[in-house]
Amino acid sequence: MIILDEPYVSPELAAYAAARQEPVLDNATARACARDYGAALNLTPEDAFASLCRGDAPRLYTCSENALDWVYAHSGNNALVERVRRLKDKAVCRERLAPLYADFFFRQVTLEELAALPFEALKVPCVLKPAVGFFSLGVHRIENAAQWEAAKVAVARDAALWREQYPPEVVGGGRFLLEEYIQGEEYAVDVYYDRQGRAVVCNILRHEFSSDADVSDRLYYTSREIIESRLNEFEAWFNRVNGPLGLRNFPVHVELRRDAGGRIAPIEFNPLRFAGWCSTDVSLFAWGFHSYGCFLEDTRPDWERVLAGKEGLLYTLMVLNKPENCPPVRDFDYDALCRDFGKVLHLRPCDFRRFSHFGFLFTETPADRREELDRIIRSDLTEYIQQE
């Protein structure tokens, strides 16, 4: 079963759903996909779709957390709703996992409490983020008093904008989480739990930053070397944390960090979906399979086969986020952007007048010739912006 919803459905996902004739909730977004992509979707009326959701651990995939509102209101499956809420609310998730991370500091505060909280009350370095959030919106790393005051001003200013772009089930501007900064390499993992609650990893992406202060989503990449070195370790960790989480037939997009000593700590679990804005399609562009297909068909990636011949290559996902204090934009030169990369696999422009980014870029880059990645991760993209 699939729920398609705003802000974006990829043609690859729509084509997969049509080919498989997966039940797709009949909503405005799904009907638009059927029309615009010419996809013969198996549109299923709301009552019938809700009936399918009421089984024991239904196999449900959403491409967007905007769909969570429907799940809460209409699925009729209290156990499913409770599992979603325990992940989506980062404070609740932290509390669930606390027995496994007894020394981890976190604190939940309201917007009003945040405004009055002095820097001296913090344990730094720490991270401030919405308790219910998405896409690095409202995420700030805090090391000093100036950063703390700037972060408070920014979240107070941006909360109204989040309400315009996303429903409160996706980004909430009323409660925030303060938590200690997690050291180590950051990864984004698309993983699902099968009927027995065993983890199946469908892709692993390294999340790279331009500096310690950077919290953006600009650059992710996967490779044969990343999969081979992290797959077994990460699946074992996912099985361990599922003790307190209790997930079955459940897809999750997980962000985590691994330090030099091999200690893994979660950043967040994003329920009922893989990488947002359908960027999970990086598995298709890199490895030739649909990550959501593994979940919906209850299969495990044939890593030995798909990794063959892929040594020494990085497969990237780049989020073309707008610069801070972005000027009014008349146009964005996507052609010039693509010319700056040796091998573009796919480009997805987006409505930059409506959203906080210009789109997504997927490339294949030799690991020993990654200058193009080192450049783009430090770029504010203004060289491609045509101002109004």
pLDDT digits 0-9 by tens, 282-295: 999 999 999 999 99
pLDDT tens-digit series, residues 127-164: 998 877 655 577 888 999 999 999 988 888 877 676 66
Residue 215 confidence (pLDDT) above 80: no
Spans of all domains in the chain? 2-87, 91-180, 185-387
Beta strands 126-130 and 175-180 are antiparallel
Helix, strand or coil for residue 38? coil
Confirm if 292 and 27 have CB atoms less than 8 A apart. Answer: no
Look at the block and give the residue holding tokens 């290559």: 313
Tokens matching residue 35: 């029309």
Q: Would you put residue 23 in left (φ > 0), alpha (ψ -120 to 50) or beta?
A: beta
Tokens matching residue 290: 């649909």
In this structure, the dihedral spanned by the alpha carbons of residues 72, 352, 138 and 210, taken in order and rounded to 10 degrees, is: 130
pLDDT tens-digit series, residues 305-361: 999 999 999 999 999 999 888 888 999 999 999 999 999 999 999 999 999 899 999
The pLDDT score that the predictor gives to residue 211 is 79
Residue 57 confidence (pLDDT) above 80: yes
Phi, psi of 336, rounded to the nearest 5 degrees? -65, -40
Distance CA 131, CA 250 (A): 21
Residue type, 303: W
CA distances from 341 to 336, 337, 345, 364 (A): 9, 7, 10, 9
What is the dotted CATH code of the domain comprising 185-387? 3.30.470.20
Q: Which whole number is the average pLDDT over 196-202?
A: 98
Q: Which whole number is the average pLDDT over 29-38?
A: 98
The pLDDT score that the predictor gives to residue 123 is 87
pLDDT classification of 105: cutoffs 50, 70, 90: confident
The pLDDT score that the predictor gives to residue 115 is 87
Provide the 8-state DSSP code for 235: H
Helix (H) or strand (E) holding 3: strand 2-3
The pLDDT score that the predictor gives to residue 234 is 99
CA distances from 37 to 217, 234, 290 (A): 28, 36, 18
pLDDT classification of 81: cutoffs 50, 70, 90: very high
Q: Which whole number is the average pLDDT over 12-36?
A: 98
Distance CA 361, CA 381 (A): 13
Question: What Rg, from alpha-carbon coordinates, does the chain have?
Answer: 20
Distance CA 238, CA 154 (A): 34
Residue 103 confidence (pLDDT) above 90: no
By percentage, how much of the chain surpasses pLDDT 90? 76
What is the dotted CATH code of the domain comprising 91-180? 3.30.1490.20
Residue 171 confidence (pLDDT) above 60: no
pLDDT classification of 213: cutoffs 50, 70, 90: confident
pLDDT classification of 169: cutoffs 50, 70, 90: low
Question: pLDDT averaged over the chain?
Answer: 93
Helix, strand or coil for residue 308? coil
pLDDT tens-digit series, residues 220-271: 999 999 999 999 999 999 999 999 999 999 999 999 999 999 999 999 999 9
* Burial track 343-381 (b if 16+ CB lie within 10 A, e otherwise): ebbebbebebeebbbbbbbbbbbeeeeeebbeebbeeeb
Nearest to 60 by CA among 255, 246, 242, 247: 247
Distance CA 90, CA 85 (A): 9
The pLDDT score that the predictor gives to residue 221 is 98
